[in-house]
Structure 1
Amino acid sequence: MNDVLATERLVLRPVRPGDLAELRAHWTAPDVRRFLFDGAVLSSEEIVEIIKSSEQDFATSGYGLWTVRQREGTELVGTAGLRQLEELGLEVVYSLAPTAWGHGYATEAARAVVDHALTTLGLPEVLAEVDEGNTASVAVVERLGMTPFETVEGLLGPMVRYRRTG
């Protein structure tokens, strides 16, 4: 199975060990981590574990975490992927560099991941969990056709769970 996803403007490739420095710089940027990892600053060791877990998920299940880059560039624009949300199923996750905000890249990358999950992987649904104050991510999941179904308490406050069925 080809794990590379492509859209009109973006290429999504599975994360790999060589991405460690870029991922660390991206995920530790204050504006990126504000709603990601509950605001925690990840260590290099934690990022290595995320990469290893993603590689294992791709090997066994055909999903994981992708780097997001413009088709015509090499710079990391962000990340997107699928991960387990408790016992409920897989959730779409994404992060975007502040320099890439406002161009629709988060929606484009997340749509590629959701489409992969619902078509290629044949999942019955994809979930998302968004911090209540994260208006940009609420807009993304709504553009993806996801609908809210539950509000739960998170470490930083209420989180709204969304779903989209195939």
Structure 2
Amino acid sequence: MQHVLTTDRLELRPAGAADLAALLAHWTDPDVRRFLFDGEVLTAGQVSEAIAAGERDFAASARGLWLIRERATGALAGTAGLRPLEDLGLEITYSLSPPFWGYGYATEAARAVVEHALGPVGLSEVLAEVDEGNAASIAVVERLGMTPFETVPGLLGPMIRYRRSAHG
């Protein structure tokens, strides 16, 4: 199965060991991690393990951690991925660097991952968990056709859980 996803403006390819420095810089940017990792600043070891976990996931099930690059420039815009959300199923994750905010890239990349998950990967649904105060991500998941199903406590405040099924 093809693990590289392309959209009109973006290419999503699995993260590999050679991407460690770029991914560490991206995920430790204070603006990027504001709603990620519950405010924790990841170490190089943690980012390396995330890459390795993504590689294992791709090998086993055609899902994992993608780097989002602009097709026109090759610039690293962010990340997207599918990871377990407790025992409920898989959730879509994404992050973008500030220079790429406001252009619809998060929605474009997340849509590619959700369609991949519900299509070729064969999931029956995809979940999302968004900080209640993250208006931009709430708008993204709503544009993806996801609907809220519960609010749960999070380390930094309430988290809203969304879902989209393969059948609507």
TM-score between both structures, scaled by the size of structure 2 = 0.98
Structure 1 match to 2:65: 65
Distance in 2, Cα, partners of 1:40 & 1:29: 11
Residues in 2 aligned to 1:73 and 1:40: alpha-carbon distance in whole angstroms: 30
Aligned position for 1:29 = 29
Structure 1-normalised TM-score? 0.99
* Alpha-carbon separation, structure 2, partners of 1:102 and 1:35: 17
Q: 1:95 aligned to 2:99?
A: no
Output the amino acid matched with 2:65: L
Summarize deviations over 1:138-158 as a string: whole Å, max 9, x none: 000000000000000011010
Rounded to whole Å, the distance in 2 between the matches of 1:136 and 1:18 is 30
Distance 2:71 2:160 in 1: 32
**What does the per-residue CA deviation read over 1:102-151, in whole Å, with 9 as the maximum and x for residues that have no partner?**
00000000000000000011110000000000000000000000000000
Question: What secondary structure, in the 3-state scheme, does the structure 1 residue paired with 2:32 have?
Answer: helix
Report the number of matched residues. Answer: 166
Distance in 2, matches of 1:139 and 1:33, equals: 18
CA RMSD of aligned residues (A): 0.5
Aligned to 2:159: 159
Q: Which stretches in structure 1 are left out of the alignment for 5+ residues?
A: none
Q: Distance in 1 between matches of 2:48 and 2:73?
A: 24
In 2, Cα distance between equivalents of 1:116 and 1:74: 22
Partner of 1:5: 5
Q: How does 1:6-155 map to 2 (within 5 A)?
A: 6-155=6-155
- Percent sequence identity is 67
Deviations 1:18-38 (A, max 9, x none): 100110110000000000111
Aligned-pair CA distance for 1:73: 1.5
Runs of at least 4 residues off by over 3 Å: none
- Looking at structure 1, the residues matched to 74 and 62 of structure 2 have their Cα atoms a distance apart, in angstroms, of 24
1:2 positional shift: 1.1
